[in-house]
Structure 1
Amino acid sequence: MILENKVAVITGGTRGIGQAIAGKYAENGADIAVIATRKTEEAESAILELSETGRKVRLYICDVSDPDQVASVAEEIIADFGKVDILVNNAGITRDNLLPSLGIMDIDDVIDINLKGTMFVTRAFIRNFIRQRGGNIVNISSVVGLMGNRGQTNYAASKAGIIGFTKSVAKEYGRKNIRCNAIAPGYIETAMTAKLSEAAHEELKKSLAIERLGQPEDVANLALFLGSENSSYITGEVIKVDGGMYV
């Protein structure tokens, strides 16, 4: 198992892409600390399913846009697990609308959770990585952060910010044996895309080189590679998982 004896922290790990990554990591030997915004039946069910892999799995409740909460939960996780080897920043939301119709909260919430949350969580664990002379960060951006998208100026800005942040962290901490890469998914079948009509789904498929929407598993497979030593000479990269949406 390529993640045996590793400890991974995954934000937004109780549903969609985050849940798929958590499952893939646990199946490959990692113990998992999952951070979620709130404790729900869905979250507890996801944790129970992860625990069936036989790995140590714990759920932590935290608003990633609150730096004080993030610092506190990071300390708790390190105390509970003894170390952290991999951090996956996956937590994210959308508040889609055309720019003139976006409210201040639509902008603030998306930037606060998607971008600032990624920064706060990374900052909270970076000293741990420096102390142990190694760490691995995988940030979930979006193909929209590379190409933009109508009705998603706030979301695209937050995901583009994650790309710049990823490259900067890679440059700052590569000499400390800390790697940082980003994944830019395209249209993945999750609760976010389930809101689209059947007609919209069909139009999307036609726009892709591979004429299907992606599955969370497609992203999780890449996250597994980036989280393992198989990618030990890769850092500062942004890798698309988009079926040829943006080529």
Structure 2
Amino acid sequence: MALLKDKVAVVTGGAQGLGLAVAERFVAEGAHVVLGDVDLDRARAAAAELGAAQAIRCDVTSEDEVTALVAAAVTAYGGLDIMVNNAGVLRDATMRTMSLDDFRLVIDTHVQGTWLGVRAASAHMREHGGGSIVNMSSISGKVGNVGQTNYSAAKAAIVGLTKAAAKEVAHLGVRINAIQPGLIRTPMTETMRAEIWQQRLAEIPMRRFGEPAEVAAVACFLASDLAGYMTGTVLEVTGGRHM
């Protein structure tokens, strides 16, 4: 039986990379999916390929647009069972060269965007019998990376946000968990310089990069009833890196 049969899910940053892989797995498991992304054309193309999906333009730093995204899912499919806060950006630079604007953009997109998604989704779920929220952190939020003071700070903050929010709504049937992917082959990570890729590959006991589908499988597990007694947890999908 499909794990997410007739469930309604929203995935931010769903037009490509990890978000699209999550959406693909959710649809394969029987869910209806709404893709939220700033690139509406790409999101629409992805939704057309998926079939059981719709696309909505959403800048996750905008309270109004995140609220509208959740409302669109409820209007289209009659409810909201799953929210995946995945949207993100990179603006890597050392502290000496990083601009304040680039620091703020990464913090706002990841932390504020996740908080807005958690708040909007849980507000609906708590009134309708519960649901599952999955936040996308990163192993960078556990160990930190040179040139990523903004990104590492943001991804660490998502862990704390996940745990605090999970405590607030657990008694209402809303579960909130996080995933910390390691080095996953996505359009965003492939912008890294070749020597950095090789350096990080050497740190992975499994001696390979992860694939988006492997992160999507964990998101599907957390979204499903298989994880019904899990909340406030952080699952690492890293090939053993930084154990």
- 1:32 corresponding residue in structure 2: 33
Q: In 2 relative to 1, CA 198–157 (structure 1 residues): closer, same or farther, beyond 3 Å?
A: closer
Q: Which amino acid aligns with 1:35?
A: G
Partners in 1 of 2:208 and 2:5 — Cα distance?
33
Alignment of 1:50-65 (within 5 A): 50-51=50-51, 55=52, 57-65=53-61
- The reply on whether 1:233 has 2:235 as its aligned counterpart is no
Determine the structure 2 residue equivalent to 1:183: 179
- 2:40 aligned counterpart, secondary structure: coil
Structure 1's unaligned 5+ residue stretches are: none
Is the counterpart of residue 214 in structure 1 residue 210 in structure 2?
A: yes
Query: What TM-score, normalized by structure 1, do the two folds share?
Result: 0.95
Q: Deviations over 1:113-153 (max 9, x none)?
A: 11100101111122211111211000000000011111100
Contact 2:11 2:85 in 1 (8 A): yes
Q: Kindly report the root-mean-square deviation, in angstroms, between the aligned alpha carbons of the 2 structures.
A: 1.2
Shift of residue 24, structure 1, vs aligned partner: 0.2
Q: Percent identity?
A: 38
Matches within 5 A, 1:88-167: 88-167=84-163
CA 1:212–1:91: 2 relative to 1, 3 Å: same
- In 2: Cα distance, 1:93 partner to 1:235 partner: 26
Q: Does 1:48 align with 2:48?
A: yes
Equivalent pairs, count: 242
- Write the mapping of 1:76-95 to structure 2, written as runs, cut at 5 A: 76-95=72-91
Give, as a single letter, the amino acid of the residue that structure 1 aligns with 2:10. V
> Equivalents in 1 of 2:28, 2:54: separation in Å?
15
Matched residue, 1:71: 67
Shift of residue 245 of structure 1?
A: 1.2
The ranges of structure 1 where at least 4 consecutive aligned residues each deviate by more than 6 angstroms after the TM superposition are none
TM-score (normalizing by structure 2): 0.96
